[in-house]
A and B are shown apart, each in its own frame.
Chain A
Amino acid sequence: MKKRSHKTYWIGFCVVVALLAAAPLALPDFWRRFLTEILIWGLLAMSSDLLVGYTGMLSFGHSAFFGLGMYGAAAALLTVSPPNLWLAVGCGLVGAAGVALFAAYFSTRLRDIYFAITTLIFSQIFYVIIFTWTDVTGGENGLTFRRPPLSIPWIYATPFTNETLHWFVLAVVTASYLILRRITQSPFGMVLQSIRENENRTRAVGYPVERYKVVAVMLSGLFAGLAGVLYAIQNRFAAPDFVYFLVSGETVIFNVMGGIGTLIGPIVGAGFFLLLRETLSRFFTEYYLIPVGMMFIAMVIFMPQGLLGFARNWLNR
């Protein structure tokens, strides 16, 4: 039976990826772009699920990792000519990882709400730095740059089209999902879940819990930074708004709506939330946040597990 559910899982996985890959050929331009964005926000949400869902650490600092990914990519694209895709990815990841290490070192000494508050404060510190350091970051206006070509280093390069950009994002998000999934199933991932279940007991059987938390925050920050890089490449700008804590809040909402501890759930949550916001803002114009908020409250009350919470055990096999 276990074997069959395993097979169903991989068939489902392939079907979904195939549909997502085929989508830009069928969708009008606006919705194609929208779908690409959902994938990027989904990656951000998934990265924070590693902390929120698997380690039991509520992070309100993911906007900093996302934003530093953006600005890291921007730095590479603006200083090196011709702009290089992989250099942008590398710089974005280095930026995000640096911030993650810094934030993790201080915040993982704290637990629960204190951890959440500390990550929030760190992200706001980075927001203020980016917002005020106009010479380097462009301040309020942010930075704009050209999109690098899609390239295989030294072999082949071609400018991104709308479709290839979507496929590139899809490939990165899919690979990230598979890596994160494997991490959560590994002995390391089991320790994270053990920390979530009973931190003291985990320490008592011989795990240096703080070090595991630092690594978890680093990994999470790395994937959040990757999402930031993708967003920068898609939109050709980096802006301080994306380092602001509202982005972190939305990341948590994606997780809660989709179902924490499932990796897939946060992507679904991101898609659901963005679609909801898009649809409702057409009907309610500037008041759209009121129905969105009511919907969120209703979901938390009637569906505390999130959209995919029911499949949690199955998705974690």
Chain B
Amino acid sequence: MDASTDLHFPPAERIGSAPLLRTERLTVRFGGLAALNGVNFELARDEVRAIIGPNGAGKSTFFNCLTGVLRPSSGRILFKGEDITGLSCDRISRKGIARSYQITNILPNATALENVRIAAQSRRHRWSMFTHHRAYGDIIAKAEAALEAVGLRGKAEVLAANLSHGEQRNLEIGIALATEPELLCLDEPTAGMSAAETRDAMELVRRIAKNLTILIVEHDMQVVMELAHRITVFHYGEVLAEGTPAEIQRNPKVLEVYLKT
């Protein structure tokens, strides 16, 4: 009880005035096509925000801009008030934005622990050359904490390639967590999961949301309605609507383009 009620009500007092993330007229053009068209977006600290929209609405493009994979054609991205527009992926990661991928993106030939250890190490001792990596207790502790958080502590020594699909999805989140982000972007974390795995993944997101701001792209409406404080609906590269889950469910425009099925 709990966790979910807890999450649905506190935003008002938890959310401060300055937004953690803000985009100003963010535009991405591929040739003549505007994949994102003047998106103004604000995300408050400690919020869980879902982005929904039909395929091709610009959700992934938006994520790719935030995490430095794509350079926007125009507009600005501000994170903690600092302009991070067009920084490289690794710089943005070090600023405190982490992401998970829609298509599982891990180190398949490394163990689960090594996967998160590499991520944890990117914040400390990352140029150390003459000390054995196992000598750094702080890195291992961080890595184990990240595995613990995603429920993979017992699978630490298993090769990532040998984990089940659901476990790999969770490892994906564990890698993101190990970089100690302030903003976590989850790209369809429940993609391809069974119903039971989806429940577990939701539980997991709820748990980590307690001290993290989360931006989540998701197709599963049940997941979105239960997890998010607020929802932003994208349509043809523009923001169609924004509001609480209840407002979005009643919004006629949203019903027409997206929810009616």
Contacts and interface: CB of A to CB of B under 8 A. Distances in A.
Interface string A170-209: 0000000001001101111111011001101111111111
Contacts, number: 92
Interface in B172-206: 175-176, 178-179
B40 interface: no
Given A182-B130, A188-B127, A207 B106 contact: no
Given A197-B108, A198-B106, A204-B89, A182 B132 contact: yes
Overall SS of chain A's interface: helix
A206 B122 contact: yes
B67 A206 contact: no
Interface stretch (B22-30, B113-121, B211-219): B113-121
B123 interface: yes
Contacts of A198: 105-108
Given A206-B123, A208-B90, A185 B132 contact: yes
A182 B106 CA distance: 25
Interface of B: 67, 88-91, 93-94, 98-99, 105-110, 114, 117-119, 121-123, 125-133, 136, 139, 175-176, 178-179
A183 B129 contact: yes
B93 A187 contact: no
Contact of B133 (A189, A200, A207, A209): A189
Interface string A202-224: 11111111000000000000000
Contacts of A179: 130
The 7 closest A-B pairs by CB, nearest first: A206-B93, A206-B122, A197-B107, A205-B119, A188-B129, A187-B128, A203-B89
A124 B131 CA distance: 36
Interface of A: 179, 182-183, 185-191, 193-194, 197-198, 200-209
Given A182-B132, A185-B133, A187-B136, A208 B179 contact: no
Nearest to B119: A205
Contacts of B118: 190-191, 194, 202, 205
Given A206-B123, A207-B126, A186 B90 contact: no
Contacts of B175: 201, 205
Contacts of A193: 110
A187 B133 contact: yes
Contacts of A207: 90, 122, 126
A241 B109 CA distance: 39
Given A186-B131, A187-B128, A197-B107, A204 B121 contact: no
B105, B117, B133: most-surrounded residue (chain A CB, <10 A): B133
A317 to B, nearest CB: 10
Contacts of B129: 182-183, 186-189
A200 B105 contact: yes
A190 B126 CA distance: 9
A198 B108 CA distance: 9
Contact of A204 (B67, B117, B125): B67
Nearest to B122: A206
B117 A190 contact: yes
Given A188-B127, A198-B105, A205 B179 contact: yes
A197 B110 contact: yes
Contacts of A197: 107-110
